[in-house]
Amino acid sequence: MIELRTPAQIEQMRPAGRFVADVISALAEKADVGVNLLELDELAHAMIRERRAESCYIDYHPSFGASPFGKVLCTSVNDAVLHGLPHDYVLRDGDLVSVDFAASVDGWVADSALSVVVGTPRREDLDLIEVTGRALDAGIAQARPGHRLGDISAAIGEVARSAGLGVNLQFGGHGVGRTMHGEPHVPNDGRPGRGLKLRPGLVIAIEPWFLHTTDEIYTDADGWTLRSKDGSRGAHMEHTVAITEDGPLVLTDRSATRT
Ligand code: MG
């Protein structure tokens, strides 16, 4: 079922969006050569406790998961691109790390992801992150009343294809509200003018993710982390966006983050 939020409810979602944005900013600042992925998870966990927020991940146990996730953050490094289970790994010079974080504040969820390179970046990794961010912006720009879901998907896919990247349609964006994953599914490619009509009050996570030279993935032996089939690196950028009469409202906007 697709649920629409009232303007008052969207206002109530702002603190969750702000908190998730703050955590993503703190993680981006903390991520560096020599930092363990478990330290990133601990930082996010400490911020959850301090804010009295609730993790969307720690007890997450979907049918495909071997056991509950057990961490509050996804950390996907290099050929890992989604759902990376934080483990005892120290970031090395040039690593591309994607952090994906969702939490509930006052009963409302926000969800956001960001990719960064630690240490000396490879040009191609910066380009991949730039394209992924541009695809996210293009998708957000279509998130307005009167448009259709396919307009968001097509805008994302167009950016990928014009950069010579493939698009995997297995995992994409989703409705966000009281829980992390709701309807509709928001694929990262599609046909303009098709699909659900976008109405004020629809709140969705838009989350393009691309790999350098493949669109195929496999699940790591940890049962969670999704890696590229050919070992090429991936990037992942996500915002939670409310569709309002005035257009897209990016609830997880980091430029509004308090410092
Ligand atoms: Mg997410």
Residues 6+ apart with CB under 8 A from 57: 69, 71, 72, 73, 74, 102
Residue 206: closest CA among 230, 239, 235:
239
Residue 60 is predicted with a pLDDT of 87
Residue 142: closest CA among 132, 133, 155:
155
Residue 256 is predicted with a pLDDT of 66
Residue 54: closest CA among 101, 7, 112:
101
The neighbouring-strand residues paired with 228 are 217
Dist. CA 101 → ligand 1 center (Å): 6
Dist. CA 112 → ligand 1 center (Å): 5
CA 87-92-95 angle, to 5 degrees, is: 85
Low-confidence ranges of the chain (pLDDT < 50): 257, 259
At residue 117, the 3 state secondary structure works out as strand
Residue 63 is predicted with a pLDDT of 77
List C-alpha distances in Å: 149 to 33, 101, 146, 197: 39, 24, 10, 6
Dist. CA 105 → ligand 1 center (Å): 15
Dist. CA 213 → ligand 1 center (Å): 23
Dist. CA 90 → ligand 1 center (Å): 23
Dist. CA 180 → ligand 1 center (Å): 8
Q: In the chain, count H helices and then E strands.
A: 4, 14
Tokens 């601990």 belong to residue: 42
| 183: phi then psi, degrees, rounded to nearest 5 | -80, 155
The neighbouring-strand residues paired with 240 are 205
- Please say whether the beta carbons of 132 and 235 come within 8 A: yes
Rounded Cα distance between 13 and 31, Å, is 27
Fold of 7-250: Creatine Amidinohydrolase (3.90.230)
Dist. CA 20 → ligand 1 center (Å): 10
Dist. CA 220 → ligand 1 center (Å): 19
Dist. CA 252 → ligand 1 center (Å): 11
Dist. CA 153 → ligand 1 center (Å): 17
Domain boundaries, the chain: 7-250
Residue 259 is predicted with a pLDDT of 44
